[in-house]
Amino acid sequence: MVRIAFTDNLKKHIDCPASHVDGATVREALNAVFASNPSLRAYILDDQSRLRKHVTIFHNGAMIADRTTLDIPVSAADEVYVFQALSGG
Would you say residue 89 has pLDDT above 60?
Answer: no
Handedness of CA 70, 85, 15, 74 (dihedral sign): positive
SS3 47: coil
In order of their start, the domains of the chain are: 2-84 (3.10.20.30)
Q: What is the pLDDT of residue 75?
A: 96
Q: What is the pLDDT of residue 88?
A: 59
Q: What is the pLDDT of residue 9?
A: 86
Q: What is the pLDDT of residue 2?
A: 97
Sheet bearing 62-63, strands edge to edge = 19-21, 2-6, 79-84, 55-59, 62-63
80, 21 Cβ separation under 8 angstroms: no
Tens-place pLDDT, residues 16-67:
999 999 999 999 999 999 999 999 999 999 999 999 999 999 999 999 999 9
| The model's pTM | 0.91
Pairing, β 2-6 against β 79-84? parallel
